[in-house]
Structures are given as structure tokens and as C-alpha cells.
């Protein structure tokens, strides 16, 4: 868990920077899409479809050498989220983690996966964990969160690949076994709540509750430029999401009562996130101030820097390849200032989980609710 002595001064600078009273500091969270390749054909995301129509897209993804230059230029972040495409398709994913340990020195590392390659995921996860131990990061939590949107053939339908659910279970069992040898490995699941699986959610959550998971979360399906799905009406209404998320709230409240320390805080944050997501969907605005492009940053596989994956290609801060791999050249550019102004003026508003958790940290009213959940549960 991040020490308060480290976090509190950082939070103060973010709040001041948002109002133009302090230079924009380095971000708290880096999400790094390490590849454009993906084998899934999800109903809620078209990344895999775009890639399969043009498999040469991944050829000019950032090289390991380019990533090293970028990480060295960026420096320390607290949370390092690996993303894709499918992250485990990069055979050098363990070396990317090594570079992260060297230059970013994160407190938490996280990656999702479509779980379509159980044996390879196990092999590459072991390599990652060995690298972290070699680099002195053996105590840093490394969380793998396979996607899980339905049970059996329903998951296969929603993810667009026959046999995906069977491979998901194989992947989970392999990761559960690895966890015995690597205490810093955390195994979770992530469910996307969309128009397509609303009726499935009660059974989906009930089944997940039978598994020895370290974490289980949901996100609401969104129309994102990153996913090439802005014309696809996949997002549930506020009322549809409210009914579906009740099952997740019950799960998180149960885990909150049984948890201690870091885990207790994690489940408390999650419960407040669910409340804010319902309100965001209902009011279609920023219900608490957004610090996208300040506390959080997203690096895509081509070197483009985004404030978040929702704005993605539509509102980039700049491109690090064009900026000589110097993060400051992009982070403090006029283009970046324009994008931050767009966000600060509340011209956008979404329930993106990755960003919302940082926004909660920086919102006193929301943090008061988190503290109450921790103290009185």
C-alpha cells in the first residue's frame, strides 16, 4: 500500500496543478498498451477485429529499446498497468516488466488477459515473477485479471472465441497453482457489464464467488476511441447498471467484512466506485472532478500519449516517437494543456474505473465515504 507520507504531498500537487497553481507533476498511474495484437472478437470491443483485418498493425509497436527510453524519461510511478491488445502475446513482456522495475519502480503492477493461451500465460507469468524477484521487487503485488463475462458458451459468445471459457478456467487453475510459489502473485477476474450480459450477471457473480480469487471487479462497457466501438450502443443505462451491480456490491461488502488492511481499503474503494458509476451514467457528466492527464496517463503501443483510453485517439497529448522519447516534451506541451482544459471544463464525463479510483483519492467527500466503509464494516 502506498505510504501516506508519499501520497499526501502528491495529492496536493495534483489538486493545485488542476487549477493552474502548480506545474503538472508526474502521473501517479501509467497504463501502457504494449501491443495492438489481440485474438479476441469481443462484442463490446473491436480491437481484435481491427487487428485480424490487418495483422501487420503490430509490426510497428514500440520496441523494447523504445520502451526503455520512455520509461527512463518518465521515471517513478506508483501504479503500472499493462494493457493491450492481449499483453501476453508479447514474448518480451517479462523484459518490459524488468524495465518498469528499473525505471518506474512501481508499488503495484497489474495486467488483464483474455486467457486464450493458458500454458503460455503460465510460462510468461513465471518469467515475470522471477524477473521481479531478481530486480528486488519480489514483494510488489503483481495482479493478473482474466476477462470473464459469462459462464460456459455465453462467455465464448461475448468474447467471440469458441472454447474461451474452458481456457479461462485452465488459466485460472494454473495461476492459482503458481500463487503457492509466488506470494506476490494476485489472481482476479474482471467482468464487463454491457447491454449483452445484463441477464447473466447474477449467475456470473455467484460462480465467481466460489473461486479463491484475490480480487473481482467489474467495469461498465463504454464506447471508447481506443476500442473502435464508438458507434456500438453497448453501455447499459444507469438503472440497468444499478440492478446488475447490486450483485457485485453484495460480493464486495462480504469481502470487506472479512478483509484487513490493504484488502479492506480495496473493497471499500470499489463500493464507492459503483455508487459514482451509477450517478455518472444517470447524469452523463463528471460527478467528481476528473484528473485524467494529470494523475493518470495512458501510453499506447505506437508511442501516443493519452489522458485516458476513453478519449484515446481523439484527444492525444502528443507522440513520444515524434518527441524524441522525452516524456516532458509531451507532458508539458501546448497540446497537452488544451486536452487538460477540455477535461477541466467538464466537456467529457465517464465512469472509467482506472481513472475513477484516482479521482476518488483526490475527492475529499468520496474519501470520507471510503473511510466510513473501512471503519464501520
How confident is the model over 64-87, as pLDDT tens digits? 999 999 999 999 999 999 999 999
Task: Report residue 40 as a C-alpha cell.
Answer: 479476441
Residue 5's pLDDT band (cuts 50, 70, 90): low
What mean pLDDT is reported for the chain?
94
Closest CA to 169 of 112, 240, 118, 235: 118
DSSP assignment, residue 188?
A: E
How confident is the model over 242-264, as pLDDT tens digits? 999 999 999 999 998 888 777 88
Helices (runs of H) and strands (runs of E) counted in the chain: 14, 9
CA dist 42 and 351 (Å) reads: 20
**Residue 286 contacts by C-beta under 8 Å, 6 or more apart in sequence?**
280, 346, 348, 349
In the prediction, which pLDDT does 229 show?
Answer: 82
Number of Cβ atoms within 10 Å of the Cβ of 261: 9
**Residue 225 contacts by C-beta under 8 Å, 6 or more apart in sequence?**
309, 310, 311, 312, 313, 314
pTM of the entire structure? 0.95
Pairing of strands 296-299, 304-306: antiparallel
In the prediction, which pLDDT does 301 show?
Answer: 97
Q: How far is CA 2 from CA 107, 261, 262, in A?
A: 7, 12, 10
How confident is the model over 172-201, as pLDDT tens digits? 999 999 999 999 999 999 999 999 999 999
Amino acid at each position: 500500500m502506498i505510504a501516506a507520507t508519499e501520497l499526501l504531498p502528491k495529492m496536493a500537487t495534483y489538486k493545485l496543478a488542476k487549477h493552474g497553481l502548480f506545474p503538472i507533476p508526474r502521473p501517479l498511474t501509467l497504463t501502457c498498451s504494449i501491443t495492438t495484437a489481440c485474438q479476441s472478437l469481443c462484442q463490446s470491443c473491436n480491437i481484435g477485429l481491427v487487428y485480424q483485418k490487418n495483422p501487420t498493425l503490430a509490426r510497428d509497436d514500440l520496441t523494447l529499446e523504445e520502451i526503455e527510453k520512455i520509461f527512463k524519461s518518465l521515471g517513478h510511478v506508483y501504479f503500472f498497468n499493462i494493457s493491450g491488445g492481449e499483453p501476453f502475446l508479447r514474448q518480451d513482456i517479462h523484459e518490459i516488466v524488468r524495465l518498469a522495475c528499473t525505471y518506474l519502480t512501481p508499488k503495484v503492477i497489474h495486467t488483464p488477459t483474455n486467457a486464450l493461451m493458458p500454458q503460455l500465460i503460465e510460462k510468461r507469468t513465471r518469467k515475470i515473477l522471477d524477473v521481479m524477484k531478481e530486480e528486488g521487487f519480489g514483494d510488489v503485488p503483481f495482479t493478473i485479471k482474466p476477462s470473464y463475462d459469462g459462464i460456459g458458451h455465453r462467455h465464448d459468445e461475448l468474447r467471440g472465441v469458441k472454447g474461451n471459457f474452458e481456457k479461462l478456467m485452465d488459466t485460472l487453475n494454473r495461476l492459482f497453482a503458481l500463487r503457492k510459489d509466488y506470494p506476490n502473485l494476485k489472481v482476479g477476474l474482471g467482468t464487463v457489464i454491457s447491454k449483452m450480459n445484463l441477464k447473466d450477471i447474477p449467475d456470473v457473480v455467484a460462480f465467481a464467488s466460489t473461486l479463491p480469487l484475490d480480487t473481482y471487479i467489474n467495469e461498465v462497457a463504454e464506447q471508447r476511441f481506443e476500442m473502435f466501438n464508438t458507434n456500438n450502443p453497448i453501455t447499459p443505462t444507469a438503472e440497468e447498471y444499478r440492478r446488475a451491480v447490486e450483485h457485485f456490491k453484495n460480493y464486495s461488502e462480504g469481502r470487506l467484512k472479512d478483509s484487513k488492511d490493504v484488502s479492506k481499503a480495496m473493497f471499500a474503494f470499489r463500493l464507492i466506485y459503483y455508487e459514482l458509476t451509477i450517478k455518472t451514467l444517470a447524469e452523463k457528466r463528471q460527478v467528481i472532478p476528473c484528473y485524467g492527464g494529470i494523475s493518470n496517463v495512458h501510453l499506447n503501443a505506437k508511442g501516443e500519449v493519452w489522458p485516458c483510453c476513453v478519449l484515446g485517439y481523439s484527444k492525444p497529448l502528443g507522440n513520444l516517437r515524434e518527441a524524441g522519447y522525452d516524456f516532458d516534451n509531451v507532458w508539458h506541451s501546448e497540446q497537452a494543456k488544451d486536452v487538460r482544459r477540455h477535461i477541466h471544463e467538464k466537456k467529457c464525463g465517464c465512469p472509467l474505473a482506472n481513472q475513477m479510483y484516482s479521482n476518488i483519492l483526490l475527492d475529499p467527500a468520496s474519501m470520507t465515504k471510503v473511510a466510513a466503509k473501512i471503519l464501520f464494516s
